[in-house]
Structure 1
Amino acid sequence: MKLLDIAAVQAVELSTAHITQADSECLARFAADYAAGSDDAPYVFDSKHGFLIIVGVITVAKIKLSAISNELAQLLDAALDEGLLILAFDSDGNRHDELTSFDW
């Protein structure tokens, strides 16, 4: 049996260029809090060259309570609306012309 024959996860990987440096710093704090075992930390993981966010209503709400950019808030809302389970940001991820990019 192959597990991929049973189900697939909806995920999107974007370049870290689509978040601000302040967003990156905020996500890094969340990832560190989660890794340290904080019960209140949203599901954000450091992936060495970016971040992996497990998309869910509570995680998105907790991230949006922080000082994040409107662009990241919109990406998180879109991920929820589209039923994504994983939203990843990677320094080598794809840049998309239709999304705002930041040069940091």
Structure 2
Amino acid sequence: MIQIHRAPFGWHATVGGKAAGVVRVAKQGDEIVLLGDIEVYPEYRKRGVGSQLLRALLQHAQENEVRELCDYVMVSAAANAIAGHPERLDIWLLLRRFNAGGFPSS
């Protein structure tokens, strides 16, 4: 079972009590949250850990009326996708959807 925990730097995930991943964030002003990094440890990938970490971030943003989220590496998302990291493009698209007012419900 995946558990998400709030931490000073963002959130961290555990599975069966073991560290599974992290999402690091920084707040800038009252309206923008910068997504610094998301990492899911290899043995926990493709199990929904990253999705739950992002869901925690989006839930927090919605509850605190954050108006915009951005990713430090949004500019290079397409390059990452081409380089074999399509998950970065997924994050970029999710953040664009949130910023456009389309908060994902699941």
TM-score by length of 2: 0.29
Instruction: Point out the structure with the larger strand share.
Output: 2
TM-score by length of 1: 0.30
Q: Between the two structures, name the one with larger relative contact order (CA 8 Å, sep ≥ 6).
A: 1
